[in-house]
Structure 1
Amino acid sequence: MVLVLGWLAVLFTAGAAQAAPAGPDTASQSAYLAGQLRHDPVYISDQMPRVVPRSTAPAFAAEAKRLHVPAYVLVLPSASSGGMGSGLLAGIHDRLGRKGLYVTVSESGLSDVQTYGVSLPGAADAKTATLYELPYDATPREVFRHFVDVLTSGQAHRRAEAARATYGGAYNTHEPPTLHTTQTDRENQSFLTGTVVAGVPLSALLITSHALRRRRVRRRPDVPGPAGGAKDGKRKDGTAKNGRTQKNGRSVKGGPATAVGGPGPGSAPRRGWLLPLGALVLAGLLAFTASRVFSDTSTGDGSVPTAADLRTRVDRVAEGLRHDPLYVDPESQSPLDSAQRAQLHERLGSLPVPVLIAALPSSPDDESGGNADLLAESLHNRLHRDALFVIADLPSGSLSVVNYGTRVDTSALYGASREPAAGYRDASTLGPCLDRLLASVAKAPTSRTAGEPLPPLPAKYLLAQQKLPGLFTGDFHPGLFIGALAALLLFGLVVAVWAIVARLGRRGARAMAEAAAPVEPRQSWLRRTARQELAALTAELESAGDLPEEARRRAWECLDAAALLIDGDSDGRIDDDATPAGLACAITLARVGRTAAREPSAATHVCHRNPLHGAAAGQTAKRPAGSRKPLPRPVCAACQETPGEMLRLYGSDGSGRRGYSPYPVHPGPLAALAKGAGTDQLTREVRESFGVQ
């Protein structure tokens, strides 16, 4: 009997020890926080070590010291920080009983600012300016620093009004630029860098090479040698320009003759490697510039939590659970009243298995990364005690059950832990939800396989989470591919636009050329243009200064020959009986004369396709009828690229029919140009036709 009574006494004592609370109800949130501020005017919650470690308290204290008034700073999770109108700061001040500036800061920004017994003008405006001027990614440390900067600037009101006017529109319509580079930002930066590093140099290389190739094609003559001169640099006497006699394309000494314009021994070799080298240098410069612009190596304000910061909350909760199986976070507003606490303690004392309840906020910024299973594992490791751990999230009221060492089949508790006791679940329904869960634990079946949960997923390594990947990693390589593809597309677009513009330009130039030198000019146009061209040539010769003797001679000979053709009476007016061939020849001579006055070497020949085009710029090979050997004929630059139509003049074609016919069939000196005659020969034939020496 004595043994039985002793055994019952032991059971009763153990149950009473578990069921009995550790004393009176936990102090209210404001009383707890006031007690913390009594020891240190800066209190940082241990529930956000990833964004604001407790070890950064000296930095907050240094900023608060700049205000020169007593300042009490609370850094709390947004779920616990209250806000304007919550009365949290008023309750803290009533319990602390000290004058000063009271500030609550959360991961979302400034929660509330109040002054008690001190004069600090602009505190409310500084809060408003901080709210609008800082982006959403500002850390609590940066928020408080900015608040102090605005408050001590003496311009808090002006800055608040300006910030409200700038950023006070609809939500997210106009946000200030972000302060920190995120992982997604770094991926975008890497992709952009790869696109630019590959796309810009490749585009420059392709477009420049294409432009140089087109330039070489335009500058390459169709027939070597100057217009009217001998080919391959030979003189008419068979000697080369260096004085050596050539025979059958070889010099007297037996060496091969070198074509004019070809790469000789003394010519500089083409440096085709310069463009690719320049593209590589440009790519390197762009990569270096990108590394300077996107130089961030970590996200956030650089605050790194210590090992003590990461274990403080777990130690605090574990210490509370050692004394009481029901732990409610003192930093948060308690969702349980005294009656609910007493009822839950009674339930806990009557359960056949130990149950530990921890009610506290959970967020991605805590040491567990918001993972309730990981928090339960940490508590189990600290307590070294098997129990059924219940993690209640504040203020949502959601429950997570993790079994360590008990034989309770937790699958039977799923409904009780997930379904609300009555209506919508929030902090106000936490008491009924916990009571229902504990009732389910009392009735839950046991299982031999229960007692060891699956290993929880580890929280992201903090330093790895804050450290940004290298700029030239990740999406940099896809960016290279996209940049190269974009360069090819851009090159194709440029070539297409270039071709269209060139075609339109040629069409416009041809239209202008046709207006200045029509293929079938009318008599009125010939007379008007002849008068204008002769007047222009006369004016240029009268205003010309020191001209070379050869240029002066050729220009005056052209003017005299043109005057003989159309002004036989020497009265300064065009003769009424001037023929179209004579008018066209006069226009040609006047234009060549003007060219001789400006560039004497370019006025030796005239375009044989249409003499109205003026001086020739090169030669083209033409095979006369009945001849096997093509003969060179002078042409202008436009006809050298695209042969134009032959000039046709109005008149009789020799058979009595009148109409437009090619100019060589018309009598007069102009027909000699079709055979490649030069300017001097044309002026000589004009003088001979008029009997002038």
Structure 2
Amino acid sequence: MRAVTTNNACTKRIWGTRYSGARVLGRLLALCALTALFATATPAVAADSPTRAAYLADRLRENPVHVTDQLPREVPRSTAPGLARIAKKTGVPTYVLVLPLQGGTDGRQLLGAVHDRLGRDGLYVLFEGPDIAEARAFGVDAPTDAAITVTQYELPYDAGVLRSFERFADVIAQGGQKAGARAEAAREQHREDEPADLYIGPSDRQNQSFLTGILLTGVPLTILLLAAYAGRGRPKKPVRRRFVLGAALLSAAAVALTATVVFDQTRSSAAKPPTPADLSARVERVAAGLKQDPVYADPESLRVLDARQLDRLHERIRDFRRSDGGGPVYVSLVPQTPESESAGDSGLFAAAVHAKVGGDGVYVVADPDDGTIDVHNHGLRLDGNSLSFDVPDAITLGDSRADEAGDHLLGERLDALMTFLDDTPRTDRPWSEPAPPAAPSAADETALPPLFSTDFWPGLLVGAFAALLLSSLVAGATWIVRALRRRRSPEPEPSGSLPLTAPTEPSASYLRRTAYAELTALSAGFTDPEDRDRAWDHLDAALLLVDGDPGRVRQPGTDAATLVAVIVLARAGRAALAGEPADLCCGVNPLHGPAARRHHVRVSAEANSRRLLPVCPLCGDAAVAAPGDIPGRLLKLPDPSLGNTRLPYYDVTDGPLTAVPHGIARLIDKVRETAGVH
């Protein structure tokens, strides 16, 4: 009986144990199934972070500065030594990651995951392109938030990776208190206005070239035109002409030199020109991966294929390779950005990878960032037109479901692509896509055109036009101002001393105003009885010309020759009152004042006709240096019998004015003879 009881008890214990184990096993199986279900449903979140973080941790284990090979045009890998040098300024162990833009990824979590796998304390900095995206301190004291704030507010967006990291490191080295104060000051200072850009673009250089061209012709030509306008009607001295020409040439040289100093930019970006090794690094990495596995997933990007989808894709690739007219298929899950070696051209990237792999096949480029899929045939017997034009957009671009999914449904779409390849018509001969055009030169992309190019040449023409316009405006404004002055001051003040220059073709109004002013001034100058002995003859002769009425000179009926004679006598009288009597008056233009000597001068431009005339100092110099200029300096008056035609003053009348070349005394006698006074 005890034996039976014992056996029953043992049976119950064994059964109970088996039953409990079955329940536990069932629960474990259910948990695993749920885990697999969630892993399949969210591959980009559950499976990505550990794999990418482990890859980046391995890179930092090899070198504390890791620069991606996907941005050679913006941040080439050769920048790493410069970043390592700057990292030493922080004073703490510093690890730097330079990666492409991390869409859909929390940079803070990524740095934490990388730190956990690397197992080293220090300052971890994440760059997304040239910009600092995140920084975290593990086991060290570093004001990361303040340093990022200062970098963002104090530097413009085009500062570049090296300048940004140097500013970041300087703030870290200041310590927490100083860094916080500096961050607050930077935030207040640049809250409204952003720092000025450090670099200019091609359009800015075109504007600089245009402005340089305008100034290079506008400034010297304006000098020449204004000098010519200011010197019209005056003797043209060789020295003065050389001075004006020298000033114009000097201004042109100054504009050119100043422009090259002020507009000295040569590049439009802080990006360092990449080396050939920088431009080939990513292609070599992908090609090496494809030689090992026909599906290469970029380890720096989000994982978009889970294990099941990856196995399915490998199976489809093997089946296609064994099919009639099929062949190898190489799938690259790699981002295509404008900053890459191929400038975002998937065809160029596929051709470069094909050249490195060295095997014909269908090269598929799937971008895990934007979800696009591009297909390129290199050497298989597949219809090229079908691959180029007939692949559905739902495969190459995706639909609304793909846009909303974190993995862009690339696994499903690549499977559909393999089905399309299976159905693609075969050809008798291998077909390859034509070689794509080369990517633009990375160095030329950021190099500015020379200053003296592009819009510099149109600027030269605009500068010449602007000089002509400005000179015309100045001339017009001067004429208007002079006209207004003449209207407001119809009776000009007499000259304080005899002028050495005067108009060669004076208007009647000018002569009337000047004659009245000079005659009135001479009359008012007789304040001392002794003055009668020095200048009375001059005043008496001048009054005889106007019948004793000074106001007569203001009447339109007085002829020009009489007005000139009045001016000459009045000025000679005023000179005598001042104790500076002059016996001779300039015979070229009596309005010039006293003559210094007599000289044979050319009086006709058409013939070599000469006359012995008294000349003022300026006319005497012209008679020696430029005798051909004397006819243009002669005083010319209108001939009443010929209308507005002007003749030299000694040919327009037979009155007293013809006595000017013989001296002031002869002029006085001639006036008296004409008036019948002895």
Band the TM-score falls in, shorter-chain normalisation: 0.5 to 0.7
Give, in whole Å, the separation in 1 of the partners of 2:179 and 2:536: 85
1:143 matches 2:164: yes
1:493 matches 2:493: no
Distance 1:554 1:124, change over 3 A: farther
Distance 1:583 1:282, change over 3 A: closer
Q: Which residue of 2 aligns with 1:200?
A: 219
Q: Which residue of 1 aligns with 2:358?
A: 384
**Residue deviations 1:116-161 (CA, integer Å, cap 9, x gap):** 222223x323212222333333322222123223444575445544
Whichever residue aligns with residue 361 of structure 2, its letter is A
Q: Which residue of 2 aligns with 1:359?
A: 333
Q: Which residue of 1 aligns with 2:198?
A: 178
Q: Which residue of 2 aligns with 1:626?
A: none
Tell me if the contact between 1:530 and 1:583 (Cα under 8 Å) persists in the aligned partners: no
So what's the TM-score if we normalise by structure 1?
A: 0.63
Q: Which residue of 2 aligns with 1:436?
A: 416
The within-5 A match list for 1:627-666 is none
Tell me if the contact between 2:268 and 2:447 (Cα under 8 Å) persists in the aligned partners: yes
Unaligned runs of 5+ in 2: 1-45, 495-507, 510-517, 541-547, 554-566, 586-590, 597-612, 614-633, 639-654, 671-678
Q: Which residue of 2 aligns with 1:91?
A: 113
The within-5 A match list for 1:194-343 is 194-208=213-227, 210-211=228-229, 214-215=231-232, 217-218=233-234, 279-280=248-249, 282-298=251-267, 300-301=269-270, 303-343=272-312
Give, in whole Å, the separation in 2 of the partners of 1:684 and 1:582: 23
Percent identical among aligned pairs is 35
Q: Which residue of 2 aligns with 1:109?
A: 131
Tell me if the contact between 1:106 and 1:140 (Cα under 8 Å) persists in the aligned partners: no
The number of residues matched between the two structures is 546
Tell me if the contact between 2:304 and 2:411 (Cα under 8 Å) persists in the aligned partners: yes
Give, in whole Å, the separation in 1 of the partners of 2:51 and 2:476: 80
Tell me if the contact between 2:213 and 2:460 (Cα under 8 Å) persists in the aligned partners: no
RMSD of equivalent CA atoms: 5.5
Tell me if the contact between 1:362 and 1:394 (Cα under 8 Å) persists in the aligned partners: no
Give, in whole Å, the separation in 2 of the partners of 1:115 and 1:555: 107
1:119 matches 2:98: no
Distance 1:407 1:425, change over 3 A: farther
Q: Which residue of 1 aligns with 2:601?
A: none
Give, in whole Å, the separation in 1 of the partners of 2:333 and 2:159: 29
Give, in whole Å, the separation in 1 of the partners of 2:550 and 2:348: 104
Q: Which residue of 2 aligns with 1:48?
A: 71
Cα deviation, residue 269, structure 1 = 6.2
Tell me if the contact between 1:126 and 1:160 (Cα under 8 Å) persists in the aligned partners: yes
Give, in whole Å, the separation in 1 of the partners of 2:417 and 2:113: 34
Cα deviation, residue 165, structure 1 = 4.4
Q: Which residue of 1 aligns with 2:434?
A: 454
Give, in whole Å, the separation in 2 of the partners of 1:168 and 1:362: 35
Whichever residue aligns with residue 211 of structure 1, its letter is Y
Give, in whole Å, the separation in 2 of the partners of 1:682 and 1:311: 100
Cα deviation, residue 287, structure 1 = 3.1
Distance 1:271 1:679, change over 3 A: closer
Tell me if the contact between 2:368 and 2:407 (Cα under 8 Å) persists in the aligned partners: no
Cα deviation, residue 66, structure 1 = 0.5
Whichever residue aligns with residue 61 of structure 1, its letter is A
Local SS of the residue matching 2:431? coil
Tell me if the contact between 1:77 and 1:107 (Cα under 8 Å) persists in the aligned partners: yes
**Residue deviations 1:512-550 (CA, integer Å, cap 9, x gap):** 552459x99xxxxxxxx9999988875xx89xxxxxxxx
Distance 1:60 1:288, change over 3 A: same
Distance 1:161 1:558, change over 3 A: farther
**Residue deviations 1:62-84 (CA, integer Å, cap 9, x gap):** 10100101111111112469566
Cα deviation, residue 317, structure 1 = 1.4
Cα deviation, residue 389, structure 1 = 1.1
Please point out which of 45, 62, 73 is paired with 2:85.
62
Give, in whole Å, the separation in 1 of the partners of 2:572 and 2:659: 15
1:71 matches 2:94: yes
Give, in whole Å, the separation in 1 of the partners of 2:578 and 2:187: 70
Distance 1:424 1:163, change over 3 A: farther
Q: Which residue of 2 aligns with 1:393?
A: 367
Cα deviation, residue 377, structure 1 = 1.5
The within-5 A match list for 1:494-513 is 494-511=470-487, 513=489
Local SS of the residue matching 2:401? coil
Local SS of the residue matching 2:126? strand
Cα deviation, residue 406, structure 1 = 2.2
Distance 1:483 1:36, change over 3 A: closer
Local SS of the residue matching 1:361? coil
Q: Which residue of 2 aligns with 1:100?
A: 122
Distance 1:378 1:433, change over 3 A: same
Give, in whole Å, the separation in 2 of the partners of 1:269 and 1:479: 34
Q: Which residue of 2 aligns with 1:649?
A: none
Give, in whole Å, the separation in 2 of the partners of 1:205 and 1:371: 55
So what's the TM-score if we normalise by structure 2?
A: 0.64
Structure with bigger helix share is 2
Local SS of the residue matching 1:514? coil
Cα deviation, residue 453, structure 1 = 1.2
Distance 1:316 1:499, change over 3 A: closer
Tell me if the contact between 1:558 and 1:683 (Cα under 8 Å) persists in the aligned partners: no
Distance 1:532 1:280, change over 3 A: closer
Tell me if the contact between 1:52 and 1:303 (Cα under 8 Å) persists in the aligned partners: yes
Tell me if the contact between 1:75 and 1:104 (Cα under 8 Å) persists in the aligned partners: yes
Tell me if the contact between 1:561 and 1:683 (Cα under 8 Å) persists in the aligned partners: yes
Local SS of the residue matching 1:400? strand
